[in-house]
Amino acid sequence: MRPCDIVDDIKKEAHQKYGKEFKNEPVTDTGYPLVPITIFLSADNTAAGEVSEEILWRLGDPAWEPKAVAGRFCQDMGLPAEKEKEVEGQILYALQPFLKWKDLGGRRLVLMKIYARNGSEVLVDEVVWNLNDPLSTSYAYAAQMCESLKLSFPWFEAVNEYVQRRLDEYIQDLREDPAAVDLIEPEAGKPIELEEGVPRVEKYETENDYEAERKKRRNQRKGI
């Protein structure tokens, strides 16, 4: 089986097959962020046996259209044309965490305190977050925290929802009121000081509700 070389070579034929315009323009890795996409087909579904490949998707590149890439993938891997729909579905599913990403122009670093509540407990953390990194998703962060701290699925849902809401607020503020976002730029060789003892899970106490105070300050600033 030939190795999949989609990252380096999306051919004109794949786009023409689906009636898509193909722009033969040079695209560099720095021009479009690369995000990992895993495609898996079980041995029961293919005559060629199990297929498991990770490709790097050029996020935001108009030439990278899921249906066309699925066609090229099947062509490269020697898979029948009827598998293209299944591959396309896997690509679309894998792209879900990255769909909200829009290029903000260079890195945008913020020092974000996380205070995600799940019932009578909260996850407390403090992280330096690049708002312009498509790989920095709420989904990935929540999964990492649950793995590191051995947290249950309800925690994943709570953390994912909280972080995504915070990221949406940051992006909204950057577009509507950039001065309201405290962007940071670390000095070379000088680490950023973070809160000690994080991440941690602690008992929720109303009088120490960081999130309630944060929302209050934000609403006052926006005149709500």
Higher pLDDT, 25 or 167: 167
Instruction: Please name which of 67, 201, 64, 58 lies closest in space to residue 121, comparing C-alpha atoms.
Output: 201
Radius of gyration of the chain (CA): 21
Question: Residue 6 domain-assigned?
Answer: no
Same domain, 36 and 128: no
Cβ-contact 125, 145 below 8 angstroms: yes
Among 48, 75, 98, the domain-final residue is 98
Find the domain containing 57 and state its range: 12-98
Cα–Cα distance, 79 to 182 (Å, whole number): 50
The answer to the question of residue 5 being in a domain is: no
| 172 occurs within a structural domain | yes
Considering the entire predicted model, what is its pTM?
A: 0.68
99-143: pLDDT as tens digits: 778 888 888 999 999 999 999 999 999 999 999 988 888 888 998
Q: Is residue 115 a part of any domain in this protein?
A: yes
Output the CA–CA distances (angstroms, integers) from residue 3 to 51, 54, 60, 77, in the order listed. 11, 11, 25, 7
Question: Is 64 inside any structural domain?
Answer: yes
Q: Are residues 207 and 172 in the same domain?
A: yes
d(CA 95, CA 172): 22
151-161 confidence digits (pLDDT tens) = 999 999 999 99
How distant, in Å, are the alpha carbons of 27, 53, 213 from that of 208? 50, 47, 9
User: 45, 83 in Cβ contact below 8 A?
Assistant: yes
Structural contact between residues 132 and 105, judged by C-beta atoms closer than 8 angstroms: yes
Dump pLDDT digits (tens) for 43-78: 665 555 688 888 888 888 888 899 999 999 998 888
Question: When comparing pLDDT for 96 and 188, which is higher?
Answer: 96
Look at the chain and report how many structural domains it folds into: 2
Residues 92 and 126 grouped into a single domain? no
Quick one: 131 and 197 in the same domain? yes
Residue 103 covered by a domain:
no
- Mean pLDDT throughout 220-224? 84
The enclosing H or E element of 66 equals helix 66-77
More confident residue, 180 or 162: 162
**pLDDT tens figures, 92-108:** 988 988 877 888 888 89
Q: Is 2 within a domain?
A: no
Q: Which residues pair with 54 in a beta bridge?
A: 38
